[in-house]
A and B are shown apart, each in its own frame.
Chain A
Amino acid sequence: MDMKVAKKKLALKEKYKLLTRDLGWEPSYQKKDDIYPYIKYEGIKIHDWDKWEDPFRLTMDSYWKYQAEKERKFYAIIDAHAQNNGHLNITDARYLSALKIFLQAISPGEYAAGKGFARTGREFPGVGTQVACQMQSIDEIRHAQTQIHALSNYNKFYNGFHAFADARDRMWYCTLPRSFFDDAMSSGPFEFMIAIGFSFEYVLTNLLFVPFMSGAAYNGDMATVTFGFSAQSDEARHMTLGLECIKFMLEQDPDNLPIVQNWIDKWFWRGFRLLGVVGTMMDYMLPKRVMSWREAFEIYGIENGGALFNDLARYGIRPPRGWDDAGKALDHMSHQFMLALYQYNFGTAFHTDIPTEEDMAWLDKKYPTTFNKYYRPRWEHIRKLKEAGTPYKNMGLAKLCQTCQIPTVFTEPDDPTQLTIREVDYKGDKYHFCSEGCQHIFENEPEKYIQAVLPMPQLFQAPLSGDLVAWMNWVGLQNGKDNGDYFGSEDQKNFDAWRDLATRNV
């Protein structure tokens, strides 16, 4: 007689082995090089893929269970937010500009990261690496999705949210994150891991999420806080993957060091430029501010980043090439960025405003050596122009950096009165840059960056041929609704009227 034997529950370690490492079959009728054709051309040498550590030992089945739990909580809160008119609990509708930029510029980056990790997961031969990349790919798509869902509630009431996908592809300020991710995705798998897994996730994610989510909490935006929390538990895994990857490369072969260092230099600088947008949101777009961009960078960039590079020094890694220039830019970049956004605000799908006296007192307190000296006079003049009925618009469109695609608004590291002007001749054409760092990146791989589709020069080529109205239609910008000064905007009027209805007996 057969006896039923209760199935033994697998120990975690065993389960992990079966569900990951054991799936790495040895090919019998195809060559390994044909299955994984992209792992050698970058010059990185790997001798033993089994040395890849996966400290999380997460298997797909537990991953699904865990993520599904988070989804249920997330959508319950998002539904409640919608039903209770959560959009009227924010401090002020000026805050919405930060959300619009987030949706147009950052959420598509999550999606791009999802695509990138799906690809690298396929291109790496190691099973531990494949599984980790696969999970991160799904995470990133989920991040994009939860962000779009959370912010879709604001789209029912306010302008500037509706065309985020077109904006991602076409808006001049969105080409900054887009080119960042396109650059990473058109690199080989190892460079992608340094770009996104290491520089972005490990060195810079905290700077993006912590200040942004606390900004949301300070300003009463529960929808954003919720997607922040839902993503945060994934980030620990992402950061570990990035750090593991870099250590793995450095431990596998000494020849990898100069290649890895070069990528760290490049992606630190690209990431620093990208996060300038976050700094601008922190210093200028939150009605109730949490901390300044400088303070955030001191904690998450200088302290944490400094400790990390000290740790990596034993492999021969030195701090990234742009490190000192970044430090010198801290007291200037958010102001330079914001002044640019304001003067070109006929072309932005979010509102900007001139800082009030109170705002400027705060900025002076946070930037005591620079704000009053360099930036207050410009803002005061801009306010004067507005009060005189001749609001300032800069119709000389912006010169863009060939590498990071940001308008070249930054000054020399040691002289905030001189704009950085850098140009390079390559194959009979001129190329311009915002900084030494961006010029250096170009010069390493000119054939890559000469192809950049820069929105300003494109505007003057067929089919737009300089037609601003056609351009607005193409990017999904509703003139007079999405763009311009916050004060006097439809968003301002609606928010004030609805909040009155919600909080008073009128």
Chain B
Amino acid sequence: MALTSTKPYVGVPRDTVANFNGKQIVYTYWEQHLLFSTPYLTVVEPGMRFGDYWENVVKPLMQADPDAAGVNLAEVKWTMGKQDFTPNISATLAENGIVHKAQLCFRTPGVNTLLAAA
């Protein structure tokens, strides 16, 4: 049952992509860098190139972490949802299949100054 109710009931989702004025949410998380308490919530145009998303949106948000300067996009490993993912840097977010509210994670193995090694 999708809801315990007295009669059939259909909920209205509040955060569908149509509500974001041509933009979409992308969540991006730098694994094992928990100075940032949660994945970044970013609101961007689906036509933005992935390389620009990295350079102009994600990188500025990473700066408080002492490891930020040493991160090289070419060496970063990505997942989207539960799948491994290799972004095409010159393609757009949409062309990369990054849909509204997608969860991206990137790993920089061995680089985690503020975190006790697991």
Knowing A41-B5, A429-B100, A460-B20 are in contact, say whether A398-B37 is a contact too (CB < 8 A): yes
A282 to chain B, nearest CB (A): 19
A445 within 8 A of B: yes
The count of A-to-B residue pairs whose CB atoms sit within 8 angstroms is 150
B86 within 8 A of A: no
B41 to chain A, nearest CB (A): 5
The answer on a CB contact under 8 Å between A409 and B38 is yes
The answer on a CB contact under 8 Å between B41 and A399 is yes
Contact pattern, B 1-20, Cβ under 8 Å of A = 1, otherwise 0:
11111100111111110011
A37 to chain B, nearest CB (A): 7
The answer on a CB contact under 8 Å between B2 and A446 is yes
Q: Which residue of B lies closest to A394 (CB)?
A: B36
- The interface-forming segment of B46-54, B70-78, B88-96, B101-109 is B101-109
The answer on a CB contact under 8 Å between A451 and B13 is yes
A432 within 8 A of B: yes
The answer on a CB contact under 8 Å between A448 and B3 is yes
Knowing A457-B14, A460-B20 are in contact, say whether A421-B39 is a contact too (CB < 8 A): yes
B26 to chain A, nearest CB (A): 10
The size of the chain B interface, using a CB distance under 8 A, is 51
The answer on a CB contact under 8 Å between B118 and A394 is no
B105 touches which one: A37, A187, A421 (CB < 8 A)? A421
The CA of A464 and the CA of B36, in the complex, are separated in Å by 25
The answer on a CB contact under 8 Å between A448 and B34 is no
The CA of A42 and the CA of B23, in the complex, are separated in Å by 40
Knowing A378-B35, A409-B37, A421-B103 are in contact, say whether A392-B64 is a contact too (CB < 8 A): yes
Knowing A187-B4, A432-B103 are in contact, say whether A423-B13 is a contact too (CB < 8 A): no
Chain A 402-427 residues near chain B, CB threshold 8 A = 407-409, 411, 415, 417-419, 421, 423, 427
A465 within 8 A of B: yes
Chain A 422-472 residues near chain B, CB threshold 8 A = 423, 427, 429-432, 445-454, 456-458, 460-462, 465-466
A447 touches which one: B10, B38, B39, B103 (CB < 8 A)? B10
Q: Which residue of B lies closest to A431 (CB)?
A: B101
A445 touches which one: B4, B23, B40, B114 (CB < 8 A)? B4
The size of the chain A interface, using a CB distance under 8 A, is 60
A309 contacts across to B, CB distance below 8 A: none
The answer on a CB contact under 8 Å between B39 and A399 is yes
A454 contacts across to B, CB distance below 8 A: 14-15
- Residue numbers of B with Cβ under 8 A of A are 1-6, 9-16, 19-21, 23, 25, 27-29, 31-32, 34-43, 60-61, 64, 66, 81, 99-103, 105, 112-116, 118
Q: A408-B39, A423-B103, A450-B12 are in contact. List 4 more A-B contacts (CB 8 A).
A: A339-B37, A417-B115, A418-B31, A419-B38
- Residue numbers of A with Cβ under 8 A of B are 37-38, 41-43, 187-188, 191, 336, 339-340, 343-344, 373-374, 377-378, 381-382, 385, 392, 394-399, 407-409, 411, 415, 417-419, 421, 423, 427, 429-432, 445-454, 456-458, 460-462, 465-466
Instruction: Please list the 4 inter-chain residue pairs (A to B) with the smallest Cβ-Cβ separation, ordered nearest first.
Output: A396-B40, A340-B37, A447-B11, A396-B61
**23 A-B contact pairs sorted by A residue (CB < 8 Å):** A339-B34, A343-B37, A344-B37, A374-B116, A377-B114, A381-B66, A396-B40, A396-B42, A398-B37, A398-B41, A411-B34, A417-B34, A418-B32, A421-B103, A423-B103, A430-B103, A445-B2, A446-B3, A447-B10, A449-B11, A457-B25, A457-B41, A461-B15
